[in-house]
Chain A
């Protein structure tokens, strides 16, 4: 079956430092990966949509300078949170879609929970 793995599952970083999270698709080709952040209040924010061989599209309030994303192939994407501060806390989810599965199916990873001290 199709799965999306994210790692690390949890991480803690000091305020002002950076951390990188990874997203790996297994069992299908992730032609597009959307990165979301779920706040401690449970609301979702779309950070960016990454499509292989296309420019990464960032949503308002999110920039490449703060959340650089790499999507080098059809099974892997990574995102870095640069200079993390308290407002960057939350659960970062990647949702991947693509391959021979129905295009209506979006597979989520378990998320990377970021805590900032």
Chain B
């Protein structure tokens, strides 16, 4: 059973638009949700993360919205830039555990 699901698989937006990437999870004991981004030929890097104590986490143009009841979260990228084009992975874990469960990723393309 896949612990973390992402949608859409790929997304194209125009420069300046808001990109919305969706994520859902199975295990209600997960309490830490990082998002990673990965550029071609690079390894994943931590972008932003949230804990369920809050339902929103903002860092510049990147915002995570979290819905604990529905076990869903989303990453919003406002004023998208071509440099934001990458594959975004949602992940989940229990904070006293050392393994991350990754979603299958959303490939974002921002067209100039």
Contact = CB atoms under 8 A, between A and B. Distances in A.
User: Are A and B physically bound partners?
Assistant: yes
Interface of A: 32, 34, 36, 42-44, 46, 49, 51, 91, 93, 95, 97, 103-106, 108-111
Contact of A106 (B42, B87, B100, B104): B100
B45 A104 contact: no
A108 B105 contact: no
Contact of B100 (A42, A95, A103, A109): A95
A93 B43 contact: yes
B43 A34 contact: no
Given A93-B43, A105-B46, A110-B42, A42 B105 contact: yes
B44, B45, B107: most-surrounded residue (chain A CB, <10 A): B44
A104 B102 contact: no
A45 B67 CA distance: 26
Interface of B: 32, 34, 38, 42-46, 49, 87, 89, 95-96, 98-102, 104-105, 107
B43 A108 contact: yes
B35 to A, nearest CB: 13
B100 A43 contact: no
A97 B34 CA distance: 14
Given A34-B99, A95-B100, A103-B96, 9 more contacts: A42-B38, A42-B87, A42-B107, A43-B104, A106-B34, A106-B100, A108-B43, A108-B45, A110-B42
Contacts of B49: 104
A113 to B, nearest CB: 9
A109 B49 CA distance: 19
B102 A44 contact: yes
A108 B36 CA distance: 11
A17 B49 CA distance: 40
A109 B99 contact: no
B57 to A, nearest CB: 13
Contact of B98 (A51, A93, A109, A110): A51
Contacts of A91: 43
